[in-house]
């Protein structure tokens, strides 16, 4: 859970395991820490900042187990949410629709670029590089179209919010526009 926004450089540190455990604990207590900001030590602050991606220009090398965990947990179907078979048009294995990609890229530049980079670094929200490896397509569609419901009910979205400390506003995309952005993400 605590690995979603984690800096790839942090993941490369040899004593990653204990540090990560400590970070997870800190992340869970993020709300408490916010309320007692005056009492926070420098170390805690740094742990929270690192949890959301840092400056990482290094390539995304998240542990495979973390990616798997994220994918499994993300597959929770909730009422009113899009399921895999409701994605129109369906994703074609090994084939990318370039017309949809360019529409998706335009939407990204107007509505998402201010908060999301195309690399691994965080701006306000997480960078999008490799996102298709970490998330299912339906999870991404729901995050775009049902942002508030996801932030209120989905454990993975909530974990991200706790780490990023900013709530993503719903960008009011149509289903088709969200699908175009998803196709664009497949190229990242
Ligand atoms: C005002 C800043 C902001 C804008 C604009 C924004 N987002 Fe986000 N987004 C966030 C934040 C912050 C998160 C992390 C979740 C949270 O804290 O709410 C996020 C998370 C996401 C995620 C999940 C990322 C992951 O790694 O799993 C997706 C997908 C996403 N946003 C898509 C979009 C799309 C598509 C757009 C444009 C149409 C967009 N966002 C515009 C701030 C933003």
Residues of the chain with pLDDT under 70: 1-78
pLDDT tens track for 150-171? 999 999 999 999 999 999 999 9
pLDDT at 27: 43
How far apart are the C-alpha atoms of 172 and 82, rounded to whole Å?
Answer: 16
pLDDT at 140: 97
169 ligand 1 Cβ < 6 A: yes
Residue closest by Cα to atom 11 of ligand 1? 125
Give 62 Cα–ligand 1 centroid separation in angstroms.
19
Nearest to 128 by CA among 55, 184, 64: 184
151 ligand 1 Cβ < 6 A: yes
115 ligand 1 Cβ < 6 A: yes
Q: Which atom of ligand 1 is nearest to the CA of 151?
A: 18
How far apart are the C-alpha atoms of 67 and 141, rounded to whole Å?
Answer: 18
Residue closest by Cα to atom 8 of ligand 1? 168
Contacts of 171-179 with C-beta under 8 Å, sequence gap 24+, read 171/111, 171/112, 171/144, 171/147, 173/107, 173/111, 173/144, 173/145, 175/88, 175/145, 177/103, 177/104, 177/107, 178/141, 178/144, 178/145, 179/87, 179/88, 179/89, 179/100, 179/141
Residue closest by Cα to atom 12 of ligand 1? 125
Residues 6+ apart with CB under 8 A from 78: 142, 149, 153, 154
- CATH architecture for segment(s) 56-185: Orthogonal Bundle (1.10)
pLDDT at 79: 72
Give 128 Cα–ligand 1 centroid separation in angstroms.
9
pLDDT at 10: 38
125 ligand 1 Cβ < 6 A: yes
């Amino acid at each position: 859970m605590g690995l979603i926004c984690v800096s790839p450089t942090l993941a490369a540190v040899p004593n990653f395991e204990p540090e990560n455990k400590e970070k997870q604990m800190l992340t869970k207590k993020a709300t408490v820490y916010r309320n007692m900001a005056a009492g926070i030590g420098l170390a805690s602050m740094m742990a929270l900042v690192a949890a959301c991606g840092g400056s990482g220009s290094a390539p995304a090398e998240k542990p495979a187990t973390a990616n798997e965990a994220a994918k499994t947990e993300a597959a929770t179907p909730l009422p009113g949410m899009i399921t895999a078979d409701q994605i129109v048009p369906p994703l074609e294995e090994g084939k990318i629709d370039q017309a949809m990609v360019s529409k998706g890229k335009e939407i990204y530049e107007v509505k998402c670029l201010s908060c999301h980079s195309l690399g691994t670094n965080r701006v306000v929200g997480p960078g999008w590089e490799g996102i298709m490896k970490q998330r299912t397509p339906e999870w991404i569609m729901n995050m775009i179209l049902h942002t508030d419901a996801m932030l209120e009910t989905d454990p993975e979205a909530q974990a991200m919010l706790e780490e990023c400390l900013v709530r993503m506003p719903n960008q009011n995309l149509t289903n088709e526009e969200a699908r175009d952005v998803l196709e664009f993400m497949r190229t990242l």
